[in-house]
Amino acid sequence: MNPRRARLAARLREVRAAAFPSGNAFAAAVGWVQSRVSKLETGAQLPTEEDIRIWVTTTGAGDAVADELLALLSEARVEYVNARDVQRRGGLAERQAQLGSLEAQATRLAEYQPTLIPGLVQTAEYARELLHLPGGPEASGASEADIEVMVAERIKRQNVLYQRGKTIQLVIGEAALYSSPRSSDALRGQLDRLVAVAGLSTVELTILPLHVPMPALPMAGFAIHDDRFVLVETLTAEQRLDEPDEVAVYRTVFEHLIAAAAHGGDALAVIRTAADTPRSG
């Protein structure tokens, strides 16, 4: 768990315990179900600012404690996960499984990738070549066996594409259709996969053409989960943003990106043009 999230959870427990002997008693006092109190006190769920105000008012903790908890909440809303630390603790493959769990819990996923194919629609061959590039998992200490498990877990994550009630919106930069991790065969297979995935009822697959004016200023790829949080991946780490104002910025940027992108048959035409383009390798 994010250490900052853990500190907030521990402090909430301390504040509650000073006024109420149990989480059940506190839940009854505020009119919440006990499981909600438990999730907040264990860090399984982040409180809202309103939750903290209710917490402080009900426990009689005072303004100073309210300011302290709100500051801890602000810190906890930004989670920075270093890839090397993840590999040391349990492995990057386990992180793929965790991402799959987060995606399974979401009703709507909105992802933008300017220069590569999103993991949710990658073929095994494309993923394998991508993960062997410099700056990939090997730089964080992953072995060949680790990478194979990562590929398997990444493919397993794609079960979410077939779950009823899901809305998965993908904006892929046109450059990704021409940039092969290593072999042209892997890219050809990947483009065929995109055409197949575009036919799924759960997926809105769009392509942002190179010739359109820049619709917004995204600095890197990102994924939005139910407008609740954003995941931004760098070469060495993954950042999770839970701050509502920050999430709102990413949501607005995504809306501009998807509005400028090619949809439906137009998107498929861009993909097929890329597939028909001769390439070496």
pLDDT, one tens digit per residue, over 75-94 is: 787 776 665 666 666 677 78
Average pLDDT for the chain: 90
pTM beyond cutoff 0.85: no
Q: What percent of the chain has pLDDT over 70?
A: 94
Mean pLDDT value of segment 156-167: 95
Chain segment 85-142, per-residue pLDDT in tens: 666 666 777 888 888 999 999 999 999 999 999 999 999 999 999 999 988 888 888 8
CB within 8 Å of 260: residues ≥ 6 apart: 208, 212, 213, 215
Topology of domain 79-276 in CATH is Endonuclease; Chain A (3.30.870)
pLDDT of residue 87: 64
Does the domain at 3-76 match CATH 1.10.260.40? Answer given as: yes
DSSP type of residue 45: S
pLDDT of residue 107: 96
pLDDT of residue 57: 95
CATH 1.10.260.40 residue ranges for the chain: 3-76
Tokens 């065969």, located at residue: 185
Cβ atoms of 239 and 232 closer than 8 Å: yes
CATH 3.30.870.10 residue ranges for the chain: 79-276
pLDDT of residue 88: 62
Chain segment 46-86, per-residue pLDDT in tens: 898 899 999 999 999 999 999 999 888 887 877 766 656 66
Cβ atoms of 170 and 111 closer than 8 Å: yes
pLDDT of residue 138: 84
Chain segment 11-42, per-residue pLDDT in tens: 999 999 999 999 999 999 999 999 999 999 99
Mean pLDDT value of segment 168-195: 94
- Nearest-angstrom CA–CA distance, 274 and 183: 15
pLDDT of residue 52: 94
pLDDT of residue 243: 83
Q: What are phi and psi of 169, to 5 degrees?
A: -105, 125
Angle at 96 between CA 10 and CA 72, to 5 degrees: 20
- Nearest-angstrom CA–CA distance, 239 and 241: 6
Q: Which residues pair with 112 in a beta bridge?
A: 171, 222
Chain segment 206-247, per-residue pLDDT in tens: 999 999 998 988 778 999 999 989 999 877 778 888 888 889
pLDDT of residue 80: 66
Between the alpha carbon of residue 95 and those of residues 34, 85, 88, 100, 167, the distances in Å are: 29, 11, 12, 9, 23
